[in-house]
Structure 1
Amino acid sequence: MAEESTDFMDSDDYTNVINGIRYPPHVRRENMEAMAEFDIRDDDIVMVAFPKAGTNWILEIVHKILVTSGKIDASSSDDMVAMGKLEFQYSQEPRPRHVMLQECASPRVILTHLAPDTAPPGIAHPQNKVKIIVLMRNPKDTAVSYFHFEQKRRSMDGRKPLPSWDEYCQLFLAGKHTYGCYFHHVLGWWQRRDDPHFLFLKYEDMKKDLPKAVKTVSAFLQVKLDDASIETIAHACTFSSMKGTLENSRFYDRAVIARKGLVGDWNTMFTDEQNKLFDQKCKTKLEGTGLHFDFE
């Protein structure tokens, strides 16, 4: 790999730097500062994931479980996205999402990419009946997916593209891309694995057995579904079905999210050297933590 270059990110006007971490422009300093005071309700359902780890996938599953059980009447997962992105505020919106969420009926479905040390205390340290679903994806596929998504977004917005894939790998491993260090994020949440408020899911396990994942999520949410309903939801949440749903989203950033949805797609991008660097990073950061990922 080439020598590390930070010139691109240092001069990139697309990012906001808040307490040393880069965020997309729709994550503003004043919204991050408000996280400390965000009130969590007892029946909130929160979905946590590093970007490109499957947020929209788990959102679709939760949406269909809640609709099937009659707990909500949102007509599509777009309705959840319209309110649920906790730390976001888009330029066309007069108010940030954390303010809009205060007016939402319960049960609220909240989405966040924040790590525990930046998330609201009621999410990082939940009490009572709050439910937190943490979805994790192996870092190699996460990096590849993130790279392609950012390139699409930048092309659509008329902005300069990301640096080369090789440079992007360096940024990702160094924690200098948006939302900071992948390993800090996943390990921060993983420390809560014995807390019953949390359910941890892996993208790779969901790909292997989606009906099992749907059943696990519904049980965690204390929603009773028969086998037929679980199979119906699982079928509707396969990648091929989800791709059509997302491409027809009224939000343009959701419309470009789905690409391949594969486990092991990193093989199409990684050089041998990049693979070795990621393997070494995984060994350094994950060894002894009990957190393991499938890469194929």
Structure 2
Amino acid sequence: MAKNRQHVAEFMDKVMVDGANMRKEDTYFSYKGVLYPTALCNPETLQALESFEARMDDVVLAGYPKTGTNWLDHILSSLESAATKYTEEEMKQRIAIEKELALVPRLEFGDPEMCKRLNKYPYRRILLTHLHPHALPTSIFKNKAKVLVLIRNPKDTAVSYFHFSNNLFFLPTSTWDQFFTDFMNGKVGCGSYFDYVAEWDKYVNDANIMAICYEELKEDLNLGLKKIAKFLGFSLTEEEIKSVAEKSSFKAMKEKSSETHGSFGDTFFRKGTVGDWKSLFSEAQNQEMDRRFEECLAGTKLGVKIKYDTYCKV
């Protein structure tokens, strides 16, 4: 939505305060077989989402945790603002409405009344989510909202998720070996990475759904932005694409992270590199991940797109 993220920072700071005294056994709850962090989600909100009405002009950004959704959120907001060419007054009005409605940074976060507040938002909505397709409102697919699915290689995703979890005091800390086992068994927030990618693989040929890789954005951000803009029907000049790319580098995002994500800033924007998995994976863990990828995703459309041999083999 609007590029100002003060309301997001305030929400995340409140989560940190509310989660400070949470008992370890209350860290997660299970909803339809998937774990969710109690400090961010609740079952009533997930249930309310089932009747949420998506709009045809909605843009949904779907990605498993730690695949780069915060980065791509900034990119999408910048592309939409550049394409729509809002005046300064219009931007101020959008930001004021977002703050008044107390919008949250993920579709599944916050209280059950969030859905009703979202319905009052008068502009194009960019809706972020970590939910698996089966848990999303069916209206997203029925009403042909545009869905951008972000994927990232599983080894870097696991390592980034490990550091992220250990930096949030309302989630239980663990050793890398413990976290790796939980990740491989889907015993982390938002469930199994492999199930997530495999389920989205069934949708990628739909005209209103596009998949893009974190790695391809890192390789050539300008080209990635052009693909996204074309998919979303945004008419942008080369100069506008270049401007968004320059403002969306990892360095630029990290420098502004305290403004955009409050005390979560450094946690969200840690390294932003490709290949960081080599710092933690043992040979046995490499082999286990290689086997699981081969069993679950190799040969699928998204599995091929991930370029596993390029990014996940020594």
Q: Gapped runs of 5+ residues in structure 2?
A: 1-23
Cα distance, 1:255 vs. partner? 4.8
2: CA distance, partners of 1:169 / 1:179: 15
- Is 1:133–2:133 an aligned residue pair? no
Q: Which runs of 5 or more residues in structure 1 are unaligned?
A: 1-10
Correspondent of 2:250 among 239, 245, 261:
239
**1:4 counterpart residue number:** none
Paired-residue identity, %: 32
Amino acid at match of 1:220: F
Per the alignment, do residues 140 and 108 of structure 1 end up closer, same or farther by CA in structure 2, a change over 3 Å counting? same
Question: Does 2:267 correspond to 1:253?
Answer: no
Please state if 1:28 is matched with 2:49: no
Question: What is the distance in 2 between the residues matched to 1:83 and 1:71?
Answer: 24
- The verdict on how the C-alpha distance between 1:213 and 1:175 changes in structure 2, with shifts beyond 3 A counting, is same
- Among candidates 98, 107, 117, match of residue 86 of structure 1: 107
Whether the aligned pair in 1 keeps the contact of 2:166 and 2:174 (CA below 8 Å) is no
Output the aligned Cα RMSD. 2.4
Partners of 1:46 and 1:133 within 8 A in 2: yes
Task: State the partner residue of 2:10.
Answer: none
Tell me the residue number matched to 2:115.
98
Q: Conserved in 2, the CA contact under 8 Å of 1:48 and 1:113?
A: yes
Shift, 1:54, TM fit? 0.8
Structure 1 residue aligned with 2:179: 168
TM-superposed CA distance for 1:58, in Å, is 1.0
2:136 corresponds to 1:119? yes
Give 1 or 2: higher helix fraction: 2
1:199 aligns to what SS in structure 2? strand
- Alignment correspondent of 2:13: none
Offset from partner CA, 1:90-130 (integer Å, 9 cap, x none): xxxx664323211212211111100011111023x2434x2
Deviations 1:177-221 (A, max 9, x none): 111111111111121111110111000111100000111111111
Amino acid at match of 1:151: N
Name the counterpart of 1:177.
Answer: 188
Residues 71 and 232 of structure 1: CA distance in aligned 2, closer, same or farther (over 3 Å): closer
SS of aligned partner of 1:38: coil
Partner of 2:19: none
Q: Does 1:153 pair with 2:164?
A: no
Aligned counterparts of 1:71 and 1:45: Cα–Cα separation in 2: 17
Secondary structure of 1:117 counterpart: helix
**What TM-score comes out, normalization by structure 2 length?**
0.82
Determine which of 274, 280, 304 is the counterpart of 1:269: 280
In structure 1, how many angstroms separate the alpha carbons of the residues matched to 2:34 and 2:148?
23
Deviations 1:228-282 (A, max 9, x none): 1111111111111111122322543345200110111000111111111111110
SS of the aligned residue for 1:195 comes to coil
Distance 2:104 2:82 in 1: 20
| 1: CA distance, partners of 2:138 / 2:48 | 11
TM-score of the superposed pair, with normalisation by structure 1: 0.86
Instruction: Tell me the equivalent position of 1:5.
Output: none
For 1:214-225, what aligned pairs fall within 5 Å after superposition? Answer: 214-225=225-236
Distance change in 2, residues 1:210/1:250 (3 Å): closer
| Change beyond 3 A, Cα 1:171–1:250 | closer
Number of the residue aligned with 1:44: 58
How far apart are the structure 1 equivalents of 2:58 and 2:132? 18
